[in-house]
Structure 1
Amino acid sequence: MGEKLICNNKKAFHDYFIEERYEAGMVLQGTEVKSLRGGKANLNDSFAIVKNGEAYLHNLHISPYDFGNRQNHDPDRMRKLLLHKKEILKLFSKIREQGYTLIPLRIYFKEGKVKAELGLAKGKKNYDKRETLKQNDMKRDVQVALKERGRQNRDRD
């Protein structure tokens, strides 16, 4: 049984340099899991913090479950992340350093459990973002050229 992607944070790779990745479990309510099975989550502007020796995820929006009752969950509540104590201490010391933050990169199901992939990230400046876009454009141009060259060689044979 593999992984089933729920949502992805593409903006994180544009705005940050991702230096390390961590996998964390999440403490959720039943209606949140049902809503996630329907793919109703949004990672935009979400981030993680370490407070009192525990990690929490802020601004993760999980839409209310359509068939839920009055005990449905609050869509924007703070959710606890499940990490090992050593990982939390390491992340806490890194986050205190200048410019580091903890960003969720994606949320997915792994063996029936909801997991969040966190990235220890450092912010990009505007010129870094432009440089990354240039490099991606050049890579795409090279791929197109190689593909075209392969077609020409095939047609010649």
Structure 2
Amino acid sequence: MAGVLFGEACMTKVLDSLELLIKGLAGLCLASVLALMIAQVASRFLFNFSLAAASELSIYAMIWCVFLAAAVAFRHGDHIAMDFILNGLPKRLKLIFSIIVYLSVTLFLVIIVFKGYDLSLRAMKQVSTASGLPVGYISMAMPICSVLALIFMTEHAIKQLWVGANND
């Protein structure tokens, strides 16, 4: 029992560190969006010059920010859910329904990982107009963050289902 608890504590510590890293990256992306937008507005008003790359890069940073934050939301079960149906069910049915939902979301994320990876590889040949970056770097947010979401959702599901199964 102590070995299981140690393993669980160790895994929680690793996932806490991963979450902190992801939150830092998402914050960096958001700060980049702010800095790029300020630079874009300042260049237009002060120098009568448009920084097309700033606008494009801010969109790309926002895409990464959203996908990173969405992965973290899976860890805490913070995504929007219509749980009024679930709350009205008996405990055993609620557990079965939760398992079906977790398996469905897992299937969806696995599809996003593989199809997103394929899309990203194909998009590496396409270069963005203003910044000159391969578009694959932007679309790579889908598979990478879906893998992170799978990791965090698995942890959340195990905790939720363990609690639900032990409360019967």
Identify, as 1 or 2, the structure richer in strand: 1
Higher relative contact order (CA 8 A, sep 6+): 1
* TM-score (normalised: structure 1): 0.23
